[in-house]
Structure formats: structure tokens, C-alpha cells
Amino acid sequence: MRISKSIKKVGLLGQLLLVITLSAGQDIYFDLSNTTGTADYLLGSRLVEDASYVSSALSLSSVLSDNSRAYLDLSHSQIFPLNEYSSSQGELGLQLRYLEIKDNQLFAGLHGYVNQYQETYSYYNSSGFGLYLKWKYYLKANQLFTTGYDLNMKKYDEVAEASNSEHDIFAAYNQSFKTKTSIKMSTSLAVQDFWAQYSLTGRGRNMTTSEESDIPSNSLLTTKIRLSQSLGPKIGLTLWLESQSLLNEIVGSLDVQDGLENPFTDRFRWEGPSSSTRLIYRLNQNNHLQISHSYLSKSYMDVPVYLFDFSEMDYTLDDEGAMVGLGFDRADERNSVQFQWTKYWMTNHSSWLTDIDLVFGAGWTQNSSNDPLYDYDSMNYSIGLNFNN
């Protein structure tokens, strides 16, 4: 039943884009990506030692005019042998831009989306609406200032209390230099505001409406620096540094749990620094190699660690049937090294297919955690085939 509902929602998004495209009489552009792979701990915990996946993502877009574009993004990920972890997503959007002001560019957009998961993560099933406004101002040809606002409204199908609105205000500064160096500095403030839930009490004319829950808002400050450097005609290096800080003393969220006791968490439940480095080597026009390393430290707030019995693969319970807490919150440090080779084939046989990409990937991830359930080392392998026009 859940899969049927997901297909209907995604199909509706596709029909809406088709109507928009036909009415505008414009060509459709597409990007189809298909990937399969495996990992020792694919799901990010020691509950499942290994699993494989097959995922597909389709992006369709249509240029409605010089200043507008409609798009549709569909994706599905199938997990083997654990089908209950599979998921589907769909998003339909409209983007607008205005370029007639000297040294200024204005952008606006809106979108609707659906996320559908299988049984184990079903409480993440959601739908929503979003919009954004963005202003770009060129101080000079090599200096760019950007600011904007994002709004995302999420309605959870099975956990109404988790429904919320996220507000993001951001600003960024880009500058490039004659040394083929570019730097980008950005900061953003995000606020998560939970929707009020109400219930009816009493009868007839004495019926009253009361608020069931009043979850406080969460706020998050993020700062980022990106440094890019060309090391020659074939080599490029990029470095990212990021810091995420919670501005509230307590986290206004829910500890909804499934049969495996996985906490319902999002980006407003942790803080910490992160960094990543990426080196790209272009062997020739049709072959690229990429090596990357990333580091991420997460200090969770109000995400307690419980005693887990790995012989029974379940949490330890006390005499009253409650999980035994260890008295501290979860904290993780993750290091990851990834290698990727991409082979490109250019084709001019059809306007519907301009290039084909074959992507091989392999990597290693170490997640060190004070929660033994999330403390693991994992190797991962993948192969992908992409079609574009």
C-alpha cells in the first residue's frame, strides 16, 4: 500500500511537469544516473554488517522562457537484502531569474516534494513545499556577493508532531585571483520551527481546542570556507572547512523510535567542525580521476547512548522494560577516503543523448563513536552509468 501511494505521488509530479512543458512548447533536457554498490556497513550502523543497493535518479527540465525553467527530479534507492530500508523521492520546481539590472542578478524559485520510505524508516515519510530568493551582486568581475533566503515546510505523514518549517538566511563572498585561486566564504542562520498540534475536547457548544505540544524552536549557525587552486592544466585541488553550532541550549525535537530503536534525528541535533579535500586529475578530455578525504566531528545534543547487546542484537532492558542508558550523549568522529574514476563518451548522433558517463568508485570510512552501535570501519564499492543531454 505504501509503495502504491508513493508511485501515485511521484506520477502526479511527472504529469504536472508534462503539462507545463507541453503548454510552453519547449524541449526537455534530462540526466539519468544509475548506480549500484555495496558496503560493509551501508546503513551507517552495526545493526547490518553488509548490504547492497541499486539507485536511479532522473532529472527532467524544460526552459519555459529566457528567464524561467521548470524541473522534475525523481529518485529511488533499493536496498538488498533489506527491502524495508528502500526509499523514493520526487520534487517538482520552477526557477525564475532576472538579469536586466547592471551588475545584479535576482533569482526566485518554488518547489514541492514527496519522500517515501519503506517500513523500517516509515516515520520519515513526508511531503512539503519550499521557496527561495537569491540576489547576486558583482562588486568586480572577480568579486561576487550573494545573499538569500530559503523556506522549507515539511509535513510528516505518520509523526505529525515532527512537522516543521525551516528558515535559512545566508550570505556568501567569492573572489578569484590571477594565480588561478578562488576563495568562497559563507555563513547561514537556520531556524527550525515546529508546527503546533491541536486536539478537540468537550462536546457540543462546550467543545474547545487545546494545544497538545509546544516544542521549542531550534537554531543553527553554519560557517564555511572553500579554497580552490589550479595546480596545472590537468590538476585541481579544493579544500572545504566548515563549522556548525547549535544556538539553543536544549534541542526541540522528538525521540521517535522504530523497532530497531533508531533515533529520529536531523541536522538540528548535532554540532561540530568538518573538513574535506578533493584532488581532480584530468588524464585527458574523456578520463578524470578524483581522490577525496573528509573529516566530520559530531557532538549530538539530547541523543542518549543506550546499552546494546550484540549477542542478541537488541538493546538491554531493565526490570521495568526500559532501555538501560549509559548517562551521556552520542559523539562521533568520521574519516573517509574515496577514489573515483570517470570515463566520458561524447556523442552527436542524437540531440537526446550528448554524453555517457561510466563511474567507478571505491573507498574506506571509519566512524569512531562512543556509541558502540555506530563504531565501525567500512569498505565501499560502486559502479555507475549516466546518460545526459
CATH (one of 3.30.230, 1.10.3470, 2.60.120, 2.40.160) for 2-388: 2.40.160
Backbone φ and ψ for 190, nearest 5 degrees, come out as -120, 140
Average pLDDT over residues 139-165: 92
The half-sphere exposure of 91 on its side-chain side, counting CA atoms within 13 A, is 19
Size of the chain in residues: 389
Q: Which residues of 296-325 are buried (b: 16+ CB within 10 A; e: fewer)?
A: bbbbbbebebbebeeeeeebeeeeeeeeee
User: pLDDT higher for 5 or 240?
Assistant: 240
Q: Are 301 and 270 in contact (CB under 8 A)?
A: yes
pLDDT at residue number 127: 93
Per-residue pLDDT tens over the stretch 17-43: 555 554 554 567 889 999 999 999 998
In the chain, the DSSP E strands lie at 28-39, 51-65, 68-80, 87-98, 104-117, 126-140, 143-156, 164-177, 181-194, 197-201, 208-213, 218-230, 235-246, 270-284, 287-306, 308-309, 314-315, 325-350, 353-369, 376-388
Ordered by start, the domain boundaries in the chain are 2-388
Backbone φ and ψ for 342, nearest 5 degrees, come out as -120, 130
pLDDT at residue number 212: 60
pLDDT at residue number 25: 47
Per-residue pLDDT tens over the stretch 191-242: 999 888 765 555 555 555 555 667 888 999 999 999 999 999 899 999 999 9
Which one-letter DSSP state was computed for residue 20? H
Average pLDDT over residues 67-93: 90
Element (H, E) at 17: helix 2-24
Average pLDDT over residues 4-22: 52
Q: How far is CA 90 from the centre of its chain?
A: 13
Per-residue pLDDT tens over the stretch 298-344: 999 988 899 999 888 888 888 888 888 899 999 999 999 999 999 99
Per-residue pLDDT tens over the stretch 93-147: 999 988 777 889 999 999 999 999 877 778 889 999 999 999 999 999 899 999 9
Res 367 pLDDT > 60: yes
Q: Are 343 and 378 in contact (CB under 8 A)?
A: no
Res 4 pLDDT > 80: no
pLDDT at residue number 121: 75
One-letter identity of residue 151:
L
Q: Which three cell numbers stand for residue 357?
A: 558517463
- Round to whole Å and give the CA distance between 61 and 18: 10
Res 245 pLDDT > 60: yes
pLDDT at residue number 101: 79
pLDDT at residue number 49: 85
- Round to whole Å and give the CA distance between 107 and 234: 33
pLDDT at residue number 19: 55
User: pLDDT higher for 3 or 284?
Assistant: 284
Query: What is the percent of the chain with per-residue pLDDT over 70, rounded to a whole number?
Result: 85
- Round to whole Å and give the CA distance between 281 and 387: 22
Res 260 pLDDT > 50: no
